[in-house]
Structure 1
Amino acid sequence: MSDDHASGKGRMLTGVAWAVLLLGLWLWGRDLTDGPGGISAPTTGDVAAVGRPLLQVELPEAHDPVTGAKPHRLDIPSLGIAAPVAPRGLDASGAVDPPPYEQPTTVGWFGDGTRPGARGVALLVGHVDTQSKPAVFYGLSSARPGERIKVTGADGSVTEFTVDDVQVFSRDKFDAKKVYGAHQDGRAELRLITCGGTYDHKARSYTANVVVSAYLTGATEAPAARS
């Protein structure tokens, strides 16, 4: 292993950490999805240049929550995202274990939490970059209200979500309740999270997190359930 590779992987291992949605414990001491800082992460919201307001659009009615299935694939056509989803558990420190360093195009789902489509908030996380190129959620900050997100379950069921909020939370403005809490009680909601802002080499972490919020607006049962 070269010194450069070891250094890059070291930054990944110390920088990539995921906030915990477990027993009401909200962690900001370790960043949600810090990547290795090989390229600049996109920014929006409170850390971006002025002049990128989110457009007001008419949003569809919420669909009633469903049972939900373990997610298998995530598609966001407007962003060109089509990625496999893998369940992730907790590491020894109690943080959600991210997808492996070698799998930057895989999205992680907090498997001990809510399933997409079920009542509550399902959490999906992804890397923003690698040492040399964009990763799965590099374009996440470009999402806008009204855009659709499709989650295909392991059983073939499909849940469709509509984006209703896109924000960037810097360290000093991180609001765990706003990030992880349901926007409306009784709904099935989704959070997609990656890092944003700039990479702080001293802290080995990004300065902010991009948070895309969406809610369930459509659901198709698994083929077996429809037969």
Structure 2
Amino acid sequence: MSEPRRAGGSRLLTFAAWSVLVLGLWLWGRQLTGVPAPPTGPAGGAPAPGMPAAHAPLPGASPQRLDVPSIGIQAPVISRGLDDDGAIEPPPYASPGTVGWWGAGTQPGSAGTALMVGHVDTKAKPAVFFGLGSAQPGEKVRVVRADGSVAEFTIEDVRVYERAGFDPHKAYGQRVAGRAELRLVTCGGSYDKAAKQYTANVVVSAYLTGAGVRPGTAA
């Protein structure tokens, strides 16, 4: 594959770079095969000082839209499966403003860890998760769901995981048994021209702290 073109100095998410990202997700899913899921019910574990208490997990419903007001994200969400290589399919390159949700995994708001992925940029402009690394703990993430509910998450932390020595359990695994958690993931670090890959993943970790009803939806 030829070296990616640059647009205004921004990073271009190539197929090779995306493969590094989804490989970690694929390994995580493969490693958890056969491992019992944590019990459902009220979340346990005390939140960090100054952070809100966890909300009990919600009934299952697929996501339709992702909002992160603090960094200007308001994007449709589509379900993605696995490609022929066993990696999670990215959102279509023709739809850089779309977020992909691993449809075979946890539904956002339900007990467990829901995974959402998005592109950093395109050849011409930033994509949906271009500003993901600037999110801050305490900021809100809202997921509008197919049943008309809105699952509100609070960001716990934003981390950059280097590809070298990558531990998918640490990056994507559930932190508190029974809690509803969310991971927003994209590529980060620097672009390695020789390897034609990004050197890291940006992972925003959040947990469910509230629930509401989408405006205009009957209670």
1:165–1:7 distance in 2 versus 1, CA, 3 Å: closer
What's the CA shift for 1:102?
Answer: 0.9
TM-score, normalised on structure 1? 0.77
Provide the residue aligned with 1:12 in structure 2. 14
Q: Which runs of 5+ in 2 are unaligned?
A: 6-12, 34-47
Provide the residue aligned with 1:165 in structure 2. 157
CA deviations 1:19-55 (Å, max 9, x no partner) are 21434269xxxxxxxxxxxxxxxxxxxxxxxxxxxxx
Provide the residue aligned with 1:202 in structure 2. 194
Say whether residues 1:22 and 2:24 are aligned partners.
Answer: no
Q: Distance in 2 between matches of 1:182 and 1:126?
A: 20
Query: 1:147 touches 1:162 (CA, 8 Å); kept in 2?
Result: yes
Of residues 69, 90, 95 in structure 2, which corresponds to 1:98? 90
CA deviations 1:170-207 (Å, max 9, x no partner) are 12242211111111111000000001111122222111
Q: Distance in 1 between matches of 2:50 and 2:58?
A: 24
Query: 1:70 touches 1:153 (CA, 8 Å); kept in 2?
Result: yes
Of residues 123, 146, 154 in structure 1, which corresponds to 2:138? 146
* Percent of residue pairs bearing the same amino acid type: 56
Report the count of equivalent residues: 191
Q: Distance in 2 between matches of 1:23 and 1:195?
A: 21
Q: Which runs of 5+ in 1 are unaligned?
A: 27-55
Runs of 4+ in 1 over 3 A off after TM superposition: 221-224
Superposition CA RMSD, Å: 2.3
Provide the residue aligned with 1:126 in structure 2. 118
TM-score, normalised on structure 2? 0.80
1:14–1:174 distance in 2 versus 1, CA, 3 Å: closer
Task: Report the 3-state secondary structure (helix = DSSP H, G, I; strand = E; otherwise coil) of the residue aligned with 1:169.
Answer: strand
